[in-house]
Structure formats: structure tokens, C-alpha cells
Amino acid sequence: MLMSVIEGALSVPAYPELVGKRVLITGVTRRAGIDIARAFAERRARVVLQFAEASAAMQAVAEVVAPEALETRVYGPVGRGEDVARFARSAVQAFGGLDAVVNLVPLETAHLDPAATVEDIDRLIAAQLELPLAISRIAANRMSVTWTQGLILNVATLTGRPGGTRQAFATLAKSTLVDMTRAQAEEWAGRGIRINAVAPETALGEPGATLYGEADVASLALYLASNKSKTLSGCVFEAAP
């Protein structure tokens, strides 16, 4: 099924129903999120961008997206705890609600001890998924309150140096995302909110059902936010590095 979904996403570029849709994209950096932001902007969506780093690149990316998008809002880095809740509430209210959320989640392995245990890796993954999980919960609740049939897509990527524990990290990360995505999808299914994810490529995926590069991920995000995928939820796709 995932292969047919990917084929459909990559072969249908026009989504007129996305005009005016309110889309939050979090975790944008100089290396990630630009293709996704531009894809929604080119469909004349209202785009809220949250950058993971404070730099001149923030303004440069915003200037690329703004001329195409119907409207644009830009936020800088977000801390933890209450800062996340404040940001999420502000982002949700920027355009009076949200129709889609794309969380970019870099899973960092650079500081992972080569002797790390499965429990160590589990704790690291849980910590790095804390922000998107919190934003997803607040956004889904707002969608529910406003009777919005929306999409939440968590896009996890593997960063850092290759190492002996990298494959184990990727496999556990995908397993965690599968469990989290299916649990959230089930929780919000009755209110028309769809939860899906993109995980780092592992040996456990469906043969041939792999996304290559952010352009593919952007096409998938458009497809999932469109009317063509109204029943698609609880799915985890794979993306090559």
C-alpha cells in the first residue's frame, strides 16, 4: 500500500484545494524544510515557519517563501517545557487555526556512545521526539475544537556521523515512530485528524517504497494534506538519507 501511495503522491502535482490552507512547518533549517515550505507556498497556502536555528538563513528562506504563499508567519527557535506550549498556541492562532502540521525532527547521533545500550538509545529518541509530540498534541486538540479535518506529519531524519550504533538507532527510531504514529492516529481518528510519519530508511521497510530527498517528502506532504488522502492515517513511510 505504501508504494502505491508514494507513486500517487509523486505523480499528482496540482492540489487546488490547498489554496488558503493553514500550514505549520516546524524545525526548518538551512538544510531541511525549504522544499516543503516552497511546495505549500506555491499552492498559495498560508504558511507558518518555525526555524530550529537563529541565523540569516531564516530571513533568506522567508523571503523565498513569502512571495508565493498567501500569507507567511515566521518564528525562531523554541525551548522546552512551557516555551513549547506557548509557541504552539501562538502558531495555531496565527491564522485562526491550522489545517496541516509538518514537524521536521532531526534525530541526532553525533554524540551517541558506541557502547550505548538499547535503553540509552530509547531515552535519546524519546527526548528528541518530545518537541514534535507536544506540538502535535496541541495542534490536534485545536483542530478537534474547531472541527477541522487536518493532517499532522512528523518527518524524522538521521543526522550525525555514521557509526556502529547508527543502524540500531535508525531501527529503534522507526519502531518508536510507528508506535507513536499509530497510537496518535487511533486517538484522533474519530475527529477526522490524520497522523502520519516519515522515518529514516531501514531494512524493515516495504521494498521499493522509499522517498529520495526532500523533494519527494514535500510531494508526499502535499498529497497527505490534500483531499486525495482523506482516509490515510497511521502510516510510516521511509526516506533515504
pLDDT tens digits for range 155-208: 998 776 555 677 777 788 888 888 999 999 999 999 999 999 998 887 655 655
3-state per-residue secondary structure call for the chain: CHHHHHHHHHHCCCCHHHCCCEEEEEEECCCCCHHHHHHHHHCCCEEEEEECCCCHHHHHHHHHHCCCCCEEEEECCCCCCHHHHHHHHHHHHCCCCCCEEEEEEEEECCCCCCCCCHHHHHHHHHHHCHHHHHHHHHHHHHHHHCCCCCEEEEEEEEECCCCCCHHHHHHHHHHHHHHHHHHHHHHHHHHCCEEEEEEECCCCCCCCCEEEHHHHHHHHHHHHHCHHHCCCCCCEEEEEC
Look at residue 208 in the predicted model and tell me its pLDDT: 57
Give the per-residue pLDDT at 53.
Answer: 81
Task: Give the pLDDT confidence score for residue 81 in this predicted structure.
Answer: 73
**Residue 126 contacts residue 159 (beta carbons within 8 Å):** no
Q: What is the pLDDT of residue 45?
A: 96
Cross-sheet strand order for the sheet of 194-200: 71-75, 46-51, 22-28, 100-108, 151-159, 194-200, 236-240, 210-212
pLDDT of residue 217: 94
Say how far apart CA 133 and CA 144 lie, in whole Å.
16
Whole-angstrom distance, CA of residue 30 vs CA of residue 22: 22
The per-residue pLDDT for 2 is 77
- Mean pLDDT in runs of 10 for the chain (241 residues)? 74 82 92 92 94 79 86 87 83 90 86 76 83 88 91 87 68 86 93 93 66 91 93 90 69
CA dihedral 95, 97, 101, 105 (to 10 degrees): 80
- Separation of alpha carbons 180 and 186, rounded Å: 10
Query: Do strands 22-28 and 71-75 pair parallel, antiparallel, or not at all (unpaired)?
Result: unpaired
The total number of residues shown for the chain amounts to 241
Class of domain 2-240: alpha beta
* Cα atoms in the Cβ-side hemisphere of radius 13 Å centred on 83: 8
